[in-house]
Amino acid sequence: MSAGRSVASQIEDIFHDNCLRFFQNAEAKRRWSIERDINWNGVNPESSELTALIVQFFSAVEMYLPDYTAKMMQMIRHSRGRAWFHMNWGYEESKHSIVLEDWLIRSGKRTVEQVRAFENTLLTGEQWELPFDHPRQMLIYTMIQELATGLNYTNLRRRAQDEGDMALSSLLRWVAADESAHYNFYRKGVKVYLQLEPEETIADIKYVFDNFAMPARTLIPGFDECSKAIDAAGIYGPRMFLQRVRHPILEDLGITRQQLKTVGLNEKEADIIADHADYRADLARLAIYRRSYF
């Protein structure tokens, strides 16, 4: 990094480069077609009603895409890297909403009329609002949210496979891959901030984790009841969030024991994460040693 350039301009350049790489990789490796790439012949009309309820719930979260895209864009429109990525993100998320509704209809779990009525209930209700008012905090929030969402879809895919619905399994593989790519873009951005604005970013990580909630929690009818059913089904819940989202993110960001405690973890929890990170580092060094000498 050039010492003569501002931190803000350095961050913007990195985001722009990351956006271009994201777009190129998506075009070359990850773009998919709802009609061409989904195994619709594998729909299982006997899939459980609970699975259908979970799919409908996930489609409801995706239904607030107009709010997610418009309100975030107003916050980040000055940043070409983030804004152009955000438009790509919106396109990919729109496919998720469409394909989940398609499965509900093609599986016979919901009629077209039922899907449209539910959709209209959501779109004519209250709007989603940004949970945080700083672009860096929203970057951290979306990083957390994308990893959690990807975990939801991955675990639902296992349920679909157990129930023999290859169509749902097929579409969830594509959707989860998109969410993983989104998470990767956001985590790279957070790492840039950690490198160039460490104290402010650590404080924001603590603040966002302390106040984190999945989007549209207060907007979707029956959100809490459905969330409990999703937890009971082993798809996603508070314990899974801690073990599969919060801990891995903090470990991946390379935050020290002291910083982990600053982020708000108690000493035991911070030590568990740091020890796990040390263990993985030891395994990596051992792998390098083996490649070098055996």
| Domain residue limits, the chain | 7-236
**pLDDT on residue 249:** 94
- State what percent of residues in the chain have pLDDT above 90: 80
Across the chain, mean pLDDT equals 90
Q: In this predicted structure, which of 179-183, 192-196, 264-268, 275-279 has the lowest mean pLDDT?
A: 275-279
pLDDT tens string 51-109:
999 999 999 999 999 999 999 999 999 999 999 999 999 999 999 999 999 999 999 99
pLDDT tens string 160-194:
999 999 999 999 999 999 999 999 999 999 999 99
Name the more confident of 1 and 181. 181
Q: What is the pTM of this model?
A: 0.88
The Cα-based distances of 38 to 12, 17, 63, 166, 259 in angstroms read 37, 32, 21, 9, 44
**pLDDT on residue 282:** 45
CB 139 within 8 A of CB 186: yes
Superfamily grouping for domain 7-236? Ribonucleotide Reductase, subunit A (1.10.620.20)
Band of pLDDT at residue 283, cut at 50, 70 and 90: very low
**pLDDT on residue 291:** 38
Helices (H), 31-134: 49-62, 65-76, 80-106, 112-123
Band of pLDDT at residue 289, cut at 50, 70 and 90: very low
Q: Which of 143, 139, 27 is nearest to 81 (CA)?
A: 139
42 exposed, middle or buried (CB, 10 Å; 0-12, 13-18, 19+)? middle
100/98 Cα distance (integer angstroms) = 6
Would the pLDDT of 288 be above 50? Answer: no
Would the pLDDT of 1 be above 70? Answer: no
Q: Which residues of 78-93 are buried (b: 16+ CB within 10 A; e: fewer)?
A: ebebbbbbbebbbebb
CB 71 within 8 A of CB 128: yes
**pLDDT on residue 290:** 35
**pLDDT on residue 258:** 75
**pLDDT on residue 125:** 87
CB 56 within 8 A of CB 226: no
- State what percent of residues in the chain have pLDDT above 70: 87
Q: In this predicted structure, which of 12-16, 49-53, 209-213, 255-259 has the lowest mean pLDDT?
A: 255-259
**pLDDT on residue 69:** 96
203/22 Cα distance (integer angstroms) = 28
Would the pLDDT of 281 be above 60? Answer: no
